Amino acid sequence: MTARSTINTGVAVATLALCAQFLYAAEDCSSGVCSLSSAPKASKAHNLNTFEMKAIVDSGKAVILDARSGEYDDGYRIPGAKSLNSESTPEEIAAIIPSKESPVVTYCGNLKCPASAELAKHLKALGYTNVKEYPEGIAGWREAGGDVDKVK
C-alpha cells in the first residue's frame, strides 16, 4: 500500500466516523433512539486531527470557525471558515451558526494559540452542544498541504 493510498484510506475512515458522530448527535428520538439532549455529553472539547478536519471540510457538514482576530488574523481561512472569536456577541454567533445543535469546529493559528479553546468554551457557555476544536490551526492545516481561502 502506498503512502497516498494510506492517507486516502485514513481520510475515508475519519469521514465515516465523523459523519456518523454528527448524525448521531442530531438524531431524533421518535424512533426510540436517544436524542442529543439525553445523549452523554463529552466532559471536555473533542480535539480533531488533520485527517478528521479534512473530512469535515470536505463534507461541508459543519460550521468551521477561525478564532483569530486583530493582528493574528492574516486573512487566510481553512475553506468555508467564518471568523468569530470569544468576544463575539450571541447575536453575531447566531447569525453564523444555524442552531445550538449544529456541528461546529473552532481553530486558530497553531498549537500554541489559545483562541480556539477560548471560542469553544464561549460557545459551550452559550449552550452550543456540538463543538470540537482543531488545535493544530491554520499552520498545521497548511503544513499538511491543505488549501486556504484568501478573504481579506
Question: What cell was used for 81?
Answer: 471558515
At 1 the pLDDT is 53
On whether the CB atoms of residues 120 and 133 are closer than 8 A, the answer is yes
At 36 the pLDDT is 28
| pLDDT beyond 90 at 33 | no
On whether the CB atoms of residues 134 and 105 are closer than 8 A, the answer is yes
CA separation for the pair 12, 15 (Å, rounded)? 5
Mean pLDDT of 132-142: 97
CATH class for the region spanning 50-150: alpha beta
| pLDDT beyond 70 at 100 | yes
At 20 the pLDDT is 42
Tell me the residue ranges of DSSP E strands in the chain.
46-47, 63-66, 76-77, 82-83, 104-107, 131-134, 149-150
At 46 the pLDDT is 81
Around Cβ 115, how many Cβ atoms within 10 Å? 20
Mean pLDDT of 100-104: 97
The residues that bridge with 47 in the sheet, in sequence order, are 133
- How far, CA to CA in Å, does 79 sit from each of 59, 75, 127, 136? 11, 12, 26, 15
Average pLDDT, the chain: 79
Non-local CB neighbours of 152 within 8 Å, separated by 6+ positions: 73, 74, 75
At 89 the pLDDT is 96
When mean pLDDT is compared across 29-38, 85-94, 136-145, the lowest value belongs to 29-38
31 backbone φψ class: left, alpha, beta (φ>0; ψ -120 to 50): alpha
Mean pLDDT of 107-133: 97
